Copies of this chain bind each other. A is one copy, B any other.
């Protein structure tokens, strides 16, 4: 009999509800503030850009929220995603640690992003919306939302950060293949974009700028809503299918994680895996949890925990989060999905409360781990996800130093099929560490 390395679930084991940690928090989140009045905002303030069912989820006091059947029907196209034990990587590291990873790259878009794109498209369709506007960094989110909109018969407009638009033409083409409309951001289509272009005609763009454009597009068209791929509570809520499945699969494996790891940009794949384990911690029996970010955009490790805008043009509400400042433009690292000045308020809150550790890595050690992973486990990881691999490898090496086992679980949030130029640069010795 072989030793199992892959743990699957039947369709009947896919979670039928999302897990909401809001009612379990020892202290409530600081309320979002209206960008004009700076006063706490109500659901009606968000109604111009979000459907009411999504707004309710953003503030919901319910511990579990049912997943609609129409969403389950689409989740089942690729969910449950596999959980693997990385036996070949363990062997290469000569570590007594056991390393598990939850692989979200099997979705059609290649990452965890459709977990929330699908319900967001569904709720907007049900609210009578015709079109969604959004931003995208590396293109993972934009392609996920293009797919989801196509499946529900919505139009999709994507403001793609200029430097990614130029460097990652394949992601842009993928959005086209799924029927999405893509503009390089800053674009001449919005006031926010035109204002940036007037001052910096060659601006490489940033997520903050692209968010401003998408929010403005939604706010100024009554048939159009805005959709965000990370940061907000309802986005992380939708992603909790990841952690719920992982728990069932770790049970199958007969191991309980002592360390749970995810890469961190806005917080969506990280929260998706970590939040169900956060509930265990809040109940007094959870694992260590580590958020891993790039040194080039170190919001959790170097940012301040304070109210800030989610975008450059100050169109979004102010939220209390770890932030580098809404006008911070990070250098153009390959992990474009982690180039956000802020952080999920929920995860920020849990970091401040001491339930989550944060760690930052430069590009070179991250790609070193990515190549080792690709050459042992076979899967070619996304640069974003490879931050989690780096931390998992370091935890496994620490276990070796200490001469004792350690059970590590990380989220491999996506594949790197559209990031091969970054690999080529690393393998050619041309990668520069910016921080």
Chain A interface residues toward B at CB < 8 A: 2, 4-6, 8, 10-11, 69, 72-74, 76-78, 84, 88, 106, 108, 110, 147, 150-151, 169-170, 173-174, 176-179, 371, 374-380, 417-418, 420-421, 423-424, 427
Contacts and interface: CB of A to CB of B under 8 A. Distances in A.
B176 A377 contact: no
Contact of A420 (B6, B110, B174): B174
Nearest to A79: B6
**Total copies of this chain within the assembly:** 2
B8 A10 contact: yes
Given A170-B420, A420-B173, A420-B174, A179 B375 contact: yes
Contacts of A84: 77
Given A108-B378, A170-B421, 4 more contacts: A106-B106, A150-B375, A173-B424, A177-B380
A76 B375 CA distance: 16
Contact of A2 (B4, B5, B69, B371): B69
A146 to B, nearest CB: 10
A424 B84 CA distance: 35
Nearest to A143: B380
Contact of A5 (B76, B177, B179): B76
B417 A170 contact: yes
A421 to B, nearest CB: 7
Q: Which 9 A-B pairs have the closest CB atoms?
A: A173-B420, A108-B378, A417-B417, A173-B424, A170-B420, A177-B423, A108-B379, A150-B375, A77-B378
A101 to B, nearest CB: 12
A360 B223 CA distance: 45
Contact of A417 (B106, B110, B151, B179): B110
Nearest to A375: B150
A80 to B, nearest CB: 9
18 contacts: A2-B69, A2-B73, A5-B77, A6-B11, A6-B77, A8-B10, A77-B377, A108-B379, A169-B420, A169-B421, A170-B170, A170-B417, A170-B418, A173-B421, A174-B417, A176-B423, A177-B420, A177-B423
A150, A375, A421 — which one has the most chain B CB atoms within 10 A of its CB?
A375
A380 B76 contact: no
Tell me which of A72, A84, A374, A377 has the highest count of chain B C-beta atoms within 10 A of its own C-beta: A374
Contacts of A169: 420-421
A10 B10 CA distance: 10
